[in-house]
Every structure is written in C-alpha cells, then in structure tokens.
Amino acid sequence: MPMANGEVHGNGRRVSEILTEMKAEFVEFAHTRIAMLRTELRGSLRLAKVAIPLLGVAALLLGTAFLLFTGALVGLVVAAFPHNLFRWFFACLVVGLFWTILGATAAYFAKRQFRSKSIMPKRTLQVLKGDKLWIESEVRNRYERATG
C-alpha cells in the first residue's frame, strides 16, 4: 500500500489531497479560535473603556473624602488628650494605625480575590482543551484502524 509521491492511499485518495484537506481544516480551526479569542477580548476591552474613567473619578472623590474624614478623626482624637503637649502626635499616630489596619485587611482580601480569579480568557481555553482531547482521540482511533 504505497503512500508517497502522488501515489494512491488505501482509501483511494492521494496523499497530497489528504495533506491539502488537513491544511485547510487547520486554517479554518485556527481562524475560528482566533475569532473566539478576539471576541472575548473585545468584550473585556469595551468594559474597560467605560470602567477606567469611572474608576478615576471614584478614586478622586473617595481620596478627597478620605482626607476630610482623616482630618475630622484626628480632631476627634485630639479632643481626647486636652492637656497633653503631644496630643497632635498621638492623634495622628492613632489614626495612622487605624488606617494601616484597614489597609492591610483590604490588601489581604484583594490578594485572595486575585488568587481565586484568572485573567485568562476561560471560554477560549476550555474550547481549546476540548479540541485537544478530540484531536488526540481522532489520532488514536485512526492509528488503531490503520494498524488493524
């Protein structure tokens, strides 16, 4: 059963025809997967174009509120030390420790969120894994049929 140099394979098709068909299928496969990835990334980009400016405005307003609340909190703690020469130092120290504890807690939860979520396009990767399993089974089945 010769299979090279334009000779006919056992199924009646030339090797060049089979290779041409395989190439066309691979190109179609690659175009489909790339289109899926682009669609998924385009949706993420569209979301980011809206979310990033809003995030900037929110950061500005929340930063201003933070500074005002910090000033008010320091003033409140200063009132707790009315006759102490270092009342402003102690007030800033207490408020600074308070913000440090809150910030460390927020950083801990943010780190946990990043560990639990992936940035990779999940749907595309799932399809590619499924394709890999399908290709492996096809190759295995064709090999078993060819070897008897």
- State pLDDT tens for residues 83-129: 999 999 999 999 999 999 999 999 999 888 877 766 667 777 788 88
Say how far apart CA 33 and CA 96 lie, in whole Å.
51
φ, ψ for residue 50 (rounded to 5)?
-85, -40
Residue 6 has pLDDT above 60, yes or no: no
Check if the beta carbon of residue 90 is closer than 8 Å to that of residue 77: yes
Q: Which residues pair with 14 in a beta bridge?
A: 8
* Residue 125 backbone zone (phi > 0: left; psi -120 to 50: alpha; other: beta): alpha
Instruction: Flag whether the pTM goes above 0.75.
Output: no
Residue 36 lies in a domain: no
**Most confident stretch, 37-41, 43-47, 48-52, 57-61:** 57-61
Residue 59 lies in a domain: yes
Averaged pLDDT, 135-139: 81
Residue 3 lies in a domain: no
Residue 42 lies in a domain: no
Print the domain residue range for 104: 52-117
**Total number of domains constituting the chain:** 1
